[in-house]
Amino acid sequence: MKIAIVGLGVAGVSVLRELSRQLDTKQKTDYKIIIYTSEKEWGTGFPYQNDDESLLINQYTESMTIDLDNKDDFMNWVKRNKTVDAPYHTHLPRKWFGDYLRETAEQCMKELNTEIRFEKVEDIEQTDMGHYTVFSNQSAEKVDAVHLTTGHLAYQDPYHLKGEAGYIYNPYPAEEVLTFPENTPSVGIIGSGLTALDAMLYIQKKYPAIKLTFYSRNGLFSSVRGDEPAVNLHYFCDDRVKDLLNQMPELTIGKVKEWFYKEMEEHQIDANWVWKHLGKGTLEGMALDLQYSKELGEFQSMIRHMRTCYPFIWNALADNEKDQFLSEYSEQWQRFKAPIPQDTAKLLIEQINENAIRMVSGLESINKTADGFKLLDSEQNSYTEEYLINCTGQSMKVSDSLHLQSKLLQNLINKGMLTPQKYGGVKIDYPSMSIIDKSEFKHALFKTYGQMVSGVQFGNNNVELISHSARTGVRHMLAAMQKQN
């Protein structure tokens, strides 16, 4: 038996880990695991690749682990390998988590019959009902199962500037691409999310004389990370939610809110007050987040612990209910779910108030000029920049951005092997993680994860959930293989 893993970031390492745990001793020898990855990102993936240590994980360290059976695995790794004795409630360099992932991958590879190929996969074809052929830029390999773990989708290009001189389409790795002449007076950052803050922190460290301007359509940052306590859920735990869903003929946003508020009340959290006053993303809002970090942290901790339930709830909602959530709640919900570390928020507030950094909201257009770029806001104010950094985030709707995606993804979608999902990524069967092709056939031996399934695991692309998905994906794959035999 041959199993292909295409990509070796969080999802790929999670699949490796599950194979090392779920295969028996004989299978570990008999099953050949062929890993396709780039040398630069092997064992780390895109977000945790080797880069400057000013780029931090926005999650608290204790919430990060690749090992579902040991929630302190990463914290213990930090204590063993870094000069940090008390990593609890810290924000550590992202590259450290990449080092941890790579070490985990190496340990798993020692237990399995693996072959690593530093090749770029360009296509995958189904050769018959039980096999697939993986085509790379160097080889073609017939395999029995595929785990598509390519990680992040392509960045957006909302102003159609990709390829223009002075436009940095993808800001990572920062050490390689965020380089400017010493006399550069200013740089523009398009966007105001976590990627934009990465660009800010790196440029201020390496080029302190450069004046930075954030250009954004809504002028909003994220919420601030509060002081999150540990919690135990009563209503929003997996078994309880599954039981409730089985009892209901149809789920509505109103019913979800009812469950949500019941959980919050159980923990004496005034969810209405938090929603009304915190997580607004303005400078004043971030200052209020810092002032009420205890109340905010309790709320954020609750929604973080609820996240394994989100896919079951999301997929039980009718499209009109999903659309209601997107229009009424999604933006602020995302700000609560992806907050800024407190120290970064304090620095941002201070520098904008002192005019060391500028924020321009209402961005409407950007045009290339002979000397750089001309930007216009909604009041027709004009700005010029020689360099722009694209920090608008990934494009989750692959049907709208196929031309920006990888050759592999383009080929799989164009031939109908993968089918774009209305709310992002591609269609899969959840929780088996099996792809669903254009004919609605479910491929039990072809799995995918992460941002590729963002329309099913909506807005919830985190290490823990990817690890859970890999566990069920590998389990379902092995069951399908046994059934075939």
Of 152 and 418, the structure prediction assigns the larger pLDDT to 418
Q: What pLDDT, on a 0 to 100 scale, did the predictor assign at position 200? A: 97
Q: What pLDDT, on a 0 to 100 scale, did the predictor assign at position 378? A: 97
Q: Which H or E element spans position 382?
A: strand 382-385
Q: What is the DSSP letter of 230?
A: P
Q: What pLDDT, on a 0 to 100 scale, did the predictor assign at position 474? A: 98
Environment class of residue 287 by beta-carbon count within 10 Å: exposed (0-12), middle (13-18) or buried (19+)? middle
* pLDDT above 90 (res 257): yes
Pick the CATH number of 167-221+341-390 from 3.50.50.60, 3.90.1150.10, 1.10.510.10, 3.60.10.10: 3.50.50.60
Mean pLDDT of 60-69: 93
Mean pLDDT of 105-118: 98
Q: What pLDDT, on a 0 to 100 scale, did the predictor assign at position 308? A: 87
Mean pLDDT of the chain: 95
CB atoms within 10 A of CB 373: 22
Mean pLDDT of 102-119: 98
Strands 363-368 and 373-377 turn out to be antiparallel
pTM across the whole model: 0.95
Residue 104 token pair: 């985990």
Among candidate residues 212, 220, 192, 228, the one with its CA nearest the CA of residue 285: 220
Domains 2-154+395-484 and 167-221+341-390 share a fold: yes
| Distance, CA of 363 to CA of 217 (rounded, Å) | 5
Q: What is the DSSP letter of 237?
A: S
Locate the domains of the chain by residue range.
2-154+395-484, 167-221+341-390, 238-337
* pLDDT above 70 (res 428): yes
Q: What pLDDT, on a 0 to 100 scale, did the predictor assign at position 460? A: 67
* pLDDT above 90 (res 238): no
Length of the chain in residues, anyone?
485
Q: What pLDDT, on a 0 to 100 scale, did the predictor assign at position 115? A: 98
Per-residue pLDDT tens over the stretch 174-199: 999 999 998 999 999 999 999 999 99
Among candidate residues 235, 372, 420, 380, the one with its CA nearest the CA of residue 313: 235
- Helix-helix angle 283-291:293-305, to 10 degrees: 90
Mean pLDDT of 27-47: 96
> Cα 398 vs. chain centroid, distance in angstroms?
15
Pick the CATH number of 2-154+395-484 from 3.40.50.2300, 3.50.50.60, 3.20.20.70, 3.90.120.10: 3.50.50.60
Per-residue pLDDT tens over the stretch 5-16: 999 999 999 999
